[in-house]
Each structure stands twice: as structure tokens, then as C-alpha cells.
């Protein structure tokens, strides 16, 4: 049979397949989310996220060293405080759990690039992402507290802040506060396209951040919508966001692609706790090959258009990259 065009020609042999690979990945684009808890001597496995732990500031070093050894130097810090109140004061306290973790990480592991989640839900007694007014989150009153939180993180050593609350106008409020206090060079990675998702269940267990009543659908996005996500991303870029995030990743790869086309800043995708838990559960039952699924899901996010990938599998993916199994 005569055929001039044979696409399979470029699939013969690993060397050739890598040469013509369209999606390139590097450990420098990975971010590992870490949970830091009040107390000492804590290395506490998260039941719904096997292999993931809550650490205290004195034990987090072992994990940070493991990440650095794997080639991962970017870490997103999430705090789990002992005290919670209606205003989430632990989020912006100078001696808060994240602030202390940042100072220690900066002193002991200066090669770690420190990113912080800026939100109120882990710190409020009601579990919502802002100040309440008659059981509704008061958007504009919350902005001041988010800005204070971001500033306190920068003062404690955060290299980047990442607001995840989904309040309108929070990027502008944070940018203004950081700039007014001399942190003009601190980037903002905005959770701009964050859906109200069932994939967050294990995270809320890990961080103790489930709302005490109701849900977050009045501020997180309806998962039926895509144009709304583009609008959110464009607004945040206008307000000063330096990086736009899509969350979750796996079920929203269409949004990663659409946002990549809509904005001219880097795009991040967060492979969230539910995605991690499903892979772990399937692998534990012998239904899937965990390592191959890790590689495939990561590649799919990059192929869709993300420049940065947040994942609990960051160390494993970095190792697979070094081994040439992915990227």
C-alpha cells in the first residue's frame, strides 16, 4: 500500500518520541501544598489522604528536605490553628501558625520558595471564607482582613501570596496593601477560577475547614459555568494578579485551556485533595497503576495549558521527570 503520510513514523522508539513530544514539563513548575498545625512533635497522617501529613513547625523540616532532595523547591503553606473566632484573627496574627512557619522555613530552608494560601476558612469559627453578616459572607468587610493577612504573610517571609477566598475585589485590595507597605515585588497567584467542588472533601478534613452551616456556592463558582471563569480571570488580571489559577484541575482541563487562551500571564492548575484521594483509593484496591496514573494526570494538565502544577504528588512527579518517565 502506498502512503506518503504515516503519523506512526514518529512513534517508533523512545528517543524519537521524546524528541517530538509537544508537552514539556520540569520540576521547577511544581508546587507542593503542606499543612502546618499548632503544637510540637506532630507528624500526623491525614486519614482521607493516605501518605499526606499535618506537621508542626518543628517537624516540617523533614518534609521540606524530602522535597528539596526530589527537586521541588516551591511550597504552598496552609495553616491549622488551635484558636478560631468569628473574624478569623489567627489568619493575620503576627504570631499565627503560618507566620511562624514562614519565619522558620526562611531561616532553616532559604532555598524553599514560600507561597501562602490567603483565606479565612481555616481560621473562622463558622468555617466560611470571610466575615459574616446575618449568615451571609460580607464581601467588602472581608477584603480588609484578606489584605491584612497577605501583608502579614509577606512580612513573615512569604515570597508569593495566593488568595483563595473568591471575594470580589480581593486581588486589588491585596495589591494595594502590599504596595503601600513596600512589597511591590511580592506576586499574587489568584485562585481566580475556583469552583464549588465536591473534590475538596479530603482537604476540608485535613485543614478542619468545612463550613459549620450552608455551603460556599455564593462565592465559589458554579461548575456548570465556563464563561464566568474567563470573566473572573480577566478581572483578576486587571486588578493585578500575576498568575491565574484554575481549581480543581482534572475535571476542569477545558477551563485550563480556555484561560490559557484568554490571559497573558502564567496559568496554574491545582490537582486537589479529592483527585489525590481517588488515585490512592483506586491504587490500594489494585484497580489502577498509581505511578502511571500520576504521570498521565499531570501530563494532561500541562497539555491543557498550565504552566504551574500544584499537587500532593510533587515529589513523585519530579522523580518521574528525572527518570524520563514523564515530561
Catalytic residues: 194, 247
Residue by residue, DSSP assigns 191-209 as EEEEB--GGGHHHHHHHT-
Candidates 233, 220, 218; CA nearest to 164 is: 220
Residue 243 vs residues 26, 115, 240, 320: alpha-carbon distances, Å: 18, 12, 9, 26
- Contact in structure between 275 and 250 (CB atoms under 8 Å): yes
Q: CB neighbours of 225 closer than 8 A, spacing ≥ 6? A: none
Q: How many CB atoms lie within 10 A of CB 180?
A: 11
Pair 42, 81: CB distance under 8 Å: no
> Distances in Å between the alpha carbon of 108 and those of 57, 99, 105, 111?
11, 14, 5, 9
Question: What is the Rg, in whole angstroms, of the alpha carbon atoms belonging to the chain?
Answer: 20
How far apart are alpha carbons 301 and 68 in whole angstroms? 23
How many whole angstroms separate alpha carbon 177 and alpha carbon 149?
10
Instruction: Give the total residue count for the chain.
Output: 327
Q: How far apart are CA 224 and CA 122, in angstroms?
A: 27
Amino acid at each position: 500500500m502506498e502512503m506518503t503520510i504515516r503519523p506512526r513514523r514518529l512513534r517508533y522508539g523512545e528517543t524519537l518520541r521524546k524528541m517530538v513530544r509537544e508537552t514539556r514539563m520540569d520540576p521547577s513548575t511544581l508546587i507542593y501544598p503542606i499543612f502546618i498545625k499548632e503544637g510540637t512533635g506532630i507528624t500526623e497522617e491525614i486519614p482521607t489522604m493516605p501518605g499526606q501529613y499535618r506537621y508542626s513547625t518543628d517537624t516540617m523540616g523533614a518534609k521540606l528536605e524530602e522535597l528539596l532532595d526530589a527537586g521541588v523547591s516551591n511550597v504552598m503553606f496552609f495553616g491549622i490553628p488551635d484558636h478560631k473566632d468569628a473574624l478569623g484573627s489567627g489568619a493575620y496574627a503576627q504570631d499565627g501558625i503560618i507566620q511562624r512557619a514562614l519565619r522558620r522555613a526562611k531561616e532553616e530552608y532559604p532555598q524553599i520558595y514560600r507561597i501562602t494560601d490567603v483565606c479565612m476558612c481555616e481560621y473562622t469559627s463558622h468555617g466560611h471564607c470571610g466575615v459574616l453578616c446575618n449568615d451571609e459572607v460580607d464581601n467588602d468587610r472581608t477584603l480588609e482582613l484578606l489584605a491584612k493577612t497577605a501583608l502579614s504573610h509577606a512580612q513573615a517571609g512569604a515570597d508569593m501570596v495566593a488568595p483563595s477566598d473568591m471575594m470580589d475585589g480581593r486581588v486589588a485590595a491585596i495589591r494595594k496593601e502590599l504596595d503601600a507597605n513596600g512589597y511591590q515585588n511580592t506576586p499574587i497567584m489568584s485562585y481566580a477560577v475556583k469552583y464549588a467542588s465536591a473534590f475538596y472533601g479530603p482537604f476540608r478534613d485535613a485543614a478542619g475547614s468545612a463550613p459549620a452551616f450552608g455551603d460556599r456556592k455564593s462565592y465559589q463558582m458554579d461548575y456548570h459555568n465556563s464563561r464566568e471563569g474567563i470573566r473572573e480571570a480577566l478581572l483578576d488580571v486587571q486588578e493585578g494578579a500575576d498568575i491565574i489559577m484554575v481549581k480543581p484541575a482534572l475535571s476542569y482541563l477545558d477551563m485550563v485551556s480556555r484561560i490559557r487562551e484568554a490571559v497573558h500571564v502564567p496559568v496554574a492548575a491545582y490537582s486537589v485533595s479529592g483527585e489525590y484521594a481517588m488515585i490512592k483509593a483506586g491504587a490500594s484496591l489494585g484497580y489502577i497503576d498509581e505511578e502511571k496514573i500520576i504521570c498521565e494526570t499531570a501530563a494532561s494538565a500541562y497539555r491543557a495549558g498550565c504552566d504551574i502544577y500544584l499537587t500532593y504528588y510533587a515529589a513523585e512527579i519530579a522523580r518521574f521527570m528525572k527518570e524520563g518517565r514523564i515530561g
